[in-house]
Amino acid sequence: MRQVSNAKIPLANKVSRAIRLHTLQITALVIVVVFIFIEAMADAKIERQSFGSTSQGEPIDLFKMVNRSGMEVAITNYGATIVSLKTRDRNGNLGDVVLGYDTLEGYESGNSYFGATIGRYANRIAQGHFRLNGKDYSLPRNNYGNTLHGGVRGFNKRVWRARDISSASELSLEMRYAAKDGEEGFPGNLNVTVVFTLPLNRNQLRIEYTASTDAPTIVNLTNHSYFNLSGEGVGNVLDHQLTVFSSKLTPVDGSLIPTGEIRSIKNTPFDFTKPASIGSRIDDKNEQLKFGRGYDHNWVLSGKRHPMAKAATLYDPKSGRTLQIMTTEPGIQFYSGNFLDGSIRGKDGKSYAYRSALCLETQHFPDSPNHPSFPSVVLKPAETFHSTTVYRFSAR
């Protein structure tokens, strides 16, 4: 009979023990991964609560998203509106950096578009008129003889359908609205989807817009948040430092309608190609500043927009907060809060004073339907409109 060497038994035992140990390690790793996944899924929840009812009795909700670093975003399905956006300053203090109201009533009765989704056409259309495929269309005029931000009752005054579409890595809130043919004078039934996304591990808010139509129409969508990086209702924004990644703008006439020209901003108060404080030149003697009572103009973003490219950076020396905006849109409207006058009482009863906030609205150009040389805003039935903008926050 062949004898088995006693010297080989310890080696076999060692191999067996190593295999068992390796198996246990793999099992433990799998368990850890599963628990991490379960924890991530548990985190990826959007809190939903009542935000009251409209004057017509329609129930409205408020949706709150909070990521792991503490950034908070609250959105209501009335106007697909950003109600609050809280992010940390250089000392780690959380602060709300957008203007808004505590209650639904403020949004329903107000006319400042705080945080709202704007459509069917953001910005101005001259004299409420455009021509499409040989047919003339007339829109309600709600801004010095022009149509502004979709008319008298644009998307900001509509109730949207909302649902949570969060994943393991990000919180996502989908908003849908079906605009009827002829609504506010615009042609075509338009189905619009806006998705607000807050990653669990990154301090940025991504907004994705999608739209389709059953007849040729015009579309220009944006978000109208008013930012003050020191905190909403805290002083003015004249010390904020702005960079706009553009060397040209679309100058306007006295009613803030583009002339059709695309003009260089070199050696003008509109040159923000390098960081400059908003207040440093806002009161210069300049015809364009006079027309806008400050800044209320569209900058022509340079370079290819797909994939997304930088549009602007805003920095607040007081808090250290920085906002970087990236977009697929060809333009960005910078509005310096020139029509805020202290009469509006916002969150916690704060008075929103002159130039106490600013807007950076990614968009197609104002009055594009009446300027064939501008990027087209026409949407046809066989096409899908898609646009993405990212607001990225940090502190230094």
The tokens describing 28, both together, are 């433990």
**For 310-326, b where at least 16 C-beta lie within 10 A, e where not — what string?**
bbbbbbbeebebbbbbb
Please state the domain extents for the chain: 1-43, 48-395
Active site annotation includes 72: no
| Catalytic residue selected from 149, 174, 183, 224 | 224
Question: Can you name the CATH fold of 48-395?
Answer: Beta-galactosidase; Chain A, domain 5 (2.70.98)
Conformation bin of residue 373: beta by default, left when phi > 0, alpha when psi is -120 to 50: alpha
CA pair distance 360, 209, nearest whole angstrom: 17
Q: What is the pLDDT along the chain (396 residues), one digit of tens a residue?
A: 434 344 444 544 554 565 565 555 555 554 444 344 445 445 568 999 999 999 999 999 999 999 999 999 999 999 999 999 999 999 999 999 999 999 999 999 999 999 999 999 999 999 999 999 999 999 999 999 999 999 999 999 999 999 999 999 999 999 999 999 999 999 999 999 999 999 999 999 999 999 999 999 999 999 999 999 999 999 999 999 999 999 999 999 999 999 999 999 999 999 999 999 999 999 999 999 999 999 999 999 976 666 889 999 999 999 999 999 999 999 999 999 999 999 999 999 999 999 999 999 999 999 999 999 999 999 999 999 999 999 999 999
| 297 in active site | no
Active-site residue (options: 170, 183, 232, 361): 361
